[in-house]
């Protein structure tokens, strides 16, 4: 099995478990009529536009972040592994060589352009647009967001810090199937029994059981240790169970209404009903293991760093890894009073990650970065949008 470092989604997909849509017989991507690209109107007028590269009155531009993300994808696309992946890519015309050449040329245009409109015009002249068919075969894509959380932790167990994250067992590849469930590994109380195969594999200890669970969902974290230092941990492996949405389980049992169920709402419920953790967390039977990453940035599934607001996760059995994409969706930002306001964004991103809840052509997870405020944004990100991939016409 290919070793994959995966950042898993912690936003509305975790809470609700958005469906990936119906199975489809058509290709996951369809070429956009060139007439719509050259003379866009209404919903097509954003094609090729990204004014956040140059910023606005309230936000600085992040052109360097995009260039960094492009360079990360180029590093992947220059590997022999990436060439092998593209040999079996199902969409005609999307080849490894074309994806690589497209990214090289797009980088040149980002560097040489002086405005959003100048870049947009150049992209429309030189690039073809391929749109995801979405979850309805009409291009509707459900967007969520994920991030790298920051929590308190301890290298040693104490009365306060007693919920561990675990290293990957050395004999993990030899575990027989069915592998142990979460409940069998850590018990319903979140603490391993005397005969648990996790004993002795504790990497670091956390003081909150739910936080330890959420790190497993995210797949990475930055930990502020009790000795004043910082520790970073990343994904090392996972047991072979499909993802189960805890939020969806709460709604199914009538504990919370499905409408308006966001991550903050779910966290509030468990803070007020801590004993319910033993009922609901074991329902997500999969278990994630970690390694210390010594300050390395969060990594995507193609083994390059993901970049805040410039990386996405998709179903890599369908979408082209490392490729240039354009997203149209609403994303929350804090206003002057600290309240979240959803704004329509059109942003160039690189497809560099995947996730166990991200399945089908109608799902995208948008990486927002690191920190508490970013986590607040990720927790309320979720809604429909459009996904395009861009490739040179020739």
H helices of the chain, where? Answer: 12-16, 34-38, 63-77, 80-86, 96-112, 116-126, 182-186, 209-218, 246-252, 263-272, 277-280, 372-379
Beta-carbon contacts of residue 58 (< 8 Å; ≥ 6 apart): none
C-beta separation of 147 from 368 below 8 A: yes
Pick from 164, 189, 217, 190: which is nearest to 9 by CA? 217
Per mean pLDDT, which range of 137-151, 179-193, 297-311 is the poorest?
179-193
- pLDDT for 24 equals 44
Pick from 285, 324, 317, 306: which is nearest to 365 by CA? 306
- pLDDT for 18 equals 43
* Structure token digits, residue 12: 């509305």
Pick from 165, 357, 354: which is nearest to 245 by CA? 357
Extended strands (E) in the chain: 29-31, 127-132, 141-148, 150-154, 163-166, 202-206, 220-225, 230-238, 288-292, 311-313, 324-334, 340-353, 363-370, 382-392
- Residue 27 sits at φ, ψ, to 5 deg, of -65, 150
pLDDT in tens, 23-75: 444 689 999 986 666 665 555 678 999 988 987 645 667 999 999 999 999 99
pLDDT band at 261 (very low <50, low <70, confident <90, very high): confident
What residues pair up with 152 in beta bridges, in sequence order? 224
pLDDT in tens, 180-212: 999 999 887 888 777 778 989 999 999 999 999
Give the residue-averaged pLDDT of 338-351: 92
Give the residue-averaged pLDDT of 155-172: 95
Starting at the edge strand found earlier in the chain, the sheet holding 288-292 runs 163-166, 202-206, 150-154, 220-225, 230-238, 288-292
What residues pair up with 313 in beta bridges, in sequence order? 353, 365
- pLDDT for 40 equals 59
Pick the most confident of 210-219, 225-234, 243-252: 225-234
- pLDDT for 374 equals 87
Kind of pairing between the strands at 141-148 and 288-292: unpaired
Pick from 194, 196, 171, 165: which is nearest to 181 by CA? 196
Task: Report the alpha-carbon distance of residue 307 to residue 340 in Å, rounded.
Answer: 22
- pLDDT for 347 equals 95
- Residue 136 sits at φ, ψ, to 5 deg, of -130, 10
Task: Report the alpha-carbon distance of residue 191 to residue 188 in Å, rounded.
Answer: 8
- pLDDT for 3 equals 28
- Mean pLDDT computed over every residue of the chain: 88
Task: Report the alpha-carbon distance of residue 359 to residue 80 in Å, rounded.
Answer: 26
- pLDDT for 44 equals 61
Domains in the chain (CATH in brackets) are: 28-146+298-392 (2.40.40.10), 158-292 (2.40.240.50)
Task: Report the alpha-carbon distance of residue 217 to residue 211 in Å, rounded.
Answer: 10
């Amino acid at each position: 099995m290919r070793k994959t470092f995966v950042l898993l989604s912690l936003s509305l997909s975790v809470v609700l478990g958005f469906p990936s849509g119906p199975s489809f017989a058509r290709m996951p991507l369809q070429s956009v009529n060139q007439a719509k690209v050259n003379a866009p109107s209404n919903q097509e007028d954003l094609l090729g536009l990204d004014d956040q590269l140059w910023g606005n009155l309230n936000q600085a531009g992040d052109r360097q972040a995009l260039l960094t993300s492009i360079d990360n994808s180029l590093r992947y696309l220059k590997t022999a592994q990436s060439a092998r992946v593209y040999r079996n890519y199902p969409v005609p015309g999307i080849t490894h060589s074309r994806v690589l050449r497209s990214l090289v040329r797009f980088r040149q245009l980002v560097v040489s352009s002086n405005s959003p409109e100048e870049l947009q015009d150049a992209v429309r002249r030189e690039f073809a647009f391929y749109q995801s068919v979405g979850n309805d075969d009409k291009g509707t894509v459900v967007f969520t967001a994920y991030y790298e959380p920051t929590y308190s932790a301890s290298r040693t167990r104490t009365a306060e810090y007693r919920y561990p994250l675990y290293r990957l067992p050395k004999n993990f590849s030899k575990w027989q199937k069915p592998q142990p469930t979460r409940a069998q590994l850590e018990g319903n109380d979140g603490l391993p029994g005397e005969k648990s195969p996790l004993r002795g594999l504790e990497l670091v200890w956390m003081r909150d059981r739910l936080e330890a669970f959420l790190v497993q969902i995210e797949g990475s974290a930055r930990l502020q240790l009790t000795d004043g230092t910082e520790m970073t941990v990343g994904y090392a492996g996972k047991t072979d169970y499909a993802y189960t949405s805890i939020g969806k389980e709460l709604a199914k049992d009538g504990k919370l209404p499905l409408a308006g169920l966001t991550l903050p709402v779910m966290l509030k419920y468990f803070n007020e009903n801590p004993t319910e953790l033993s009922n609901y967390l074991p329902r997500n039977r999969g278990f994630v293991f970690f390694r210390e990453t010594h300050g390395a940035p969060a990594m995507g599934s193609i083994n390059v760093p993901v970049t805040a607001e410039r990386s996405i996760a998709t179903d890599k059995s369908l979408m082209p890894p490392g490729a240039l994409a354009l997203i149209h969706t609403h994303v929350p930002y804090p206003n002057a009073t600290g309240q979240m306001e959803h704004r329509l964004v059109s942003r160039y991103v690189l497809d560099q990650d995947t996730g166990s809840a991200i399945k089908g052509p109608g799902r995208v997870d948008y990486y927002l970065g690191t920190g508490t405020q970013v986590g607040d944004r990720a927790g309320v990100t979720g809604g429909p949008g459009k996904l395009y991939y861009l490739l040179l016409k020739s």
